[in-house]
A = this chain, B = another copy of it.
């Protein structure tokens, strides 16, 4: 099973997210802005001002370095994830159709079995109802389980979240539907703060998970003719990728259903645990943030915050002090950037002006 690291980090400051959704119909934009803040376009469009609004005074013979292709924390592009999955399943299915004779176990349709074996392997469910019987098949299976784990990682890092986010708006609407007084446009403005956002995503993942588990249990009861307890037990063993294999999908139709259902339900459980962790982390962050913001300043704070040694704390210096206190940035970050500033401050005035920029050009 995939039990994600507790490394999820989200912005500590979420208050002004409401301010981002000024226009009705802008809810999706506002909802996804925070999540996709680190997207390809953000940092560069911001600093690639339009020709009308800015005079670029760079010398043409000394241009800025080109921006890197994308932001460091960007997640894999959705289309890449699907291509990787498609490639993995195609190659896997072809391989295991070819070595079909070297698999032991209950067999149905050749292509369905190969695809089913791929999915059972890549998700690490590993029922064992189909097992490789020869050296070649065993080495192939070993290869496919390792590469499958990488593909599952890609899906989890991007696609699973995408599905939950797409459905999140539904949960938000449902939560606000009871409040009849609010007209639809207003609902869009009632964008939750970040902790609520995570709660909605958590609720969405829970609903999806329960639906998938119910669908699986019903399918196994009705189509594979298990009794209810066995079906539920098989569902639990599958979504957690446990896969003892005493109960599994034995018919061609069942295995075709399993291909989609196993992929969806295992990813969904992983997302469920991920959001659960995120919810817990955000609550702690909120407590911590409240403390940082409400903490009274001391004289030592003023001394420490005063970066330019003018004995007063400017707004920007205050912001940096609080960011350090919130652990969003480190003292090292500030040190490196201060060095960078001193290099740019050609006339040593302690401030950057147009003159500094022209002189450095």
A residues with a Cβ closer than 8 A to B are 1-9, 11-17, 19-20, 34, 37-38, 42-43, 46-47, 49, 53-58, 64-68, 70-76, 104, 121, 124-128, 131-132, 135, 138-139, 141-142, 145-146, 149-150, 152-153, 156-158, 229-230, 232-233, 236-237, 240-246, 270, 273-274, 277, 281, 284-285, 287-302, 305, 307-308, 311-320, 322-323, 325, 327-330, 332-338, 340-342, 344-345, 349-354, 357, 360-361
Contacts and interface: CB of A to CB of B under 8 A. Distances in A.
A15 B336 CA distance: 7
A320 B318 contact: no
A54 B233 contact: no
21 contacts: A1-B241, A3-B156, A5-B157, A11-B332, A43-B292, A46-B325, A47-B298, A47-B300, A55-B299, A58-B298, A65-B291, A68-B284, A72-B327, A104-B246, A126-B241, A132-B233, A138-B233, A139-B233, A245-B245, A307-B319, A319-B333
Contacts of A149: 1, 3, 240, 273
Q: How many copies of this chain?
A: 2
Contacts of A54: 298-300
B56 A236 contact: no
A297 B56 CA distance: 9
B73 A145 contact: no
Contact of A317 (B49, B121, B316, B361): B316
B298 A49 contact: yes
A209 to B, nearest CB: 11
A314 B312 contact: no
A126 B244 contact: yes
A288 B327 contact: no
Contacts of A5: 4-5, 7-8, 156-157, 274
Nearest to A340: B293
Given A65-B295, A156-B3, A330 B13 contact: yes
Contacts of A71: 288, 327
Closest 6 CB pairs of A and B: A3-B153, A316-B316, A312-B351, A72-B285, A142-B236, A126-B242
Contacts of A64: 294-296
A128 B246 contact: yes
Of A1, A350, A360, most B-chain CB atoms within 10 Å: A1
A356 B290 CA distance: 21
